Amino acid sequence: MHHSKCYNKTELHVIERQQRNLSDMTGLIFRRLAGSALDTVIPDIARLRISVFRDWPYLYDGSIEYEDWYLRTLMQADGHVVVVCYAGDQIVGAATGAPLASQHPEFRKPFEDAGHNPADWFYCAESVLLPEWRGQGAGHRFFDEREAHARKLGFSRSAFCAVQRPDTHPMRPTDYGPLDAFWKKRGYQPRPDLITSFSWKDIAQATETPKPMQFWTREGL
């Protein structure tokens, strides 16, 4: 199935101007950015991602260089979007998304192996938010904005994947609460038939190692 609406990078650059900068009760402001509109915010988003993903369950030992490359690679995908969350002038959160067909083979292959066409799916890649701003609705807003963007592109299905860590992992916080209930409230369901792996370097590790990741999907956006 091919989607009837496909935006090029110039058209996506217009998204921010078309998008109302709505603030919620907390004073947070969310903006959808794409293309060259991301140039000035990439360094801040890169630092934010490194900080947040260092915590459980990702334990990611990242670098500015890799994050800069990752975000600029994302910008090359037609249909990409980054939802940036501001508290005043400070970037406190960000969420990324793009058509699944534009993503790494590791993310496309489970769908292909299961008989699904990656071109039918929008991929809600990652979302990060500083701890002091959590619990105030930003997580819902990140999904709202990316799903609205996906619908504009003609998608009715979305997916993301989450790392799977053993409950016995020595670095698992005793008070950790998984986000499964939140994701299910958003209409996503875990897909044990859609499993992949992706490699990164954990904190306190010398080299990258593959991490198992499970997809969650939603149909009928």
Give a yes or no: residue 2 inside a domain: no
Structural domain includes residue 28: yes
d(CA 151, CA 29): 22
User: What pLDDT score does 15 carry?
Assistant: 44
Phi, psi of 172 (to 5 degrees): -70, 125
Whether residue 3 lies inside any domain: the answer is: no
**Number of domains, the chain:** 1
User: Would 113 be classed as within a structural domain?
Assistant: yes
pLDDT at 12: 42
End-to-end, the C-alpha distance of the chain in Å comes to: 16
Side-by-side strand order, sheet with 157-163: 28-33, 81-87, 90-99, 122-129, 157-163, 209-219, 189-200
Q: Which CATH number characterizes residue 107's domain?
A: 3.40.630.30
* DSSP string for residues in 139-164: HHHHHHHHHHHHHHTT--EEEEEEE-
Is residue 1 a part of any domain in this protein? Answer: no
**Domain residue limits at 106:** 9-169+178-219
Look at residue 67 and tell me if it is in a domain.
yes
Residue type, 159: A
Domain assignment present for residue 129? The answer is yes
pLDDT of the chain, 221 residues: tens digit per residue:
434 334 444 444 444 444 444 445 468 999 999 999 999 999 999 999 999 999 999 999 999 999 999 899 988 899 999 999 999 999 999 999 999 999 999 999 999 999 999 999 999 999 999 999 999 999 999 999 999 999 999 999 999 999 999 999 999 999 999 999 999 999 999 999 999 999 999 998 999 999 999 999 999 99
Residue 152 located in a structural domain: yes
Total count of residues recorded for the chain: 221
* CA angle centred on 20, ends 156 and 157, rounded to 5°: 10
**In whole angstroms, what is the distance from residue 44 CA to residue 71 CA?**
11
81 DSSP assignment: E
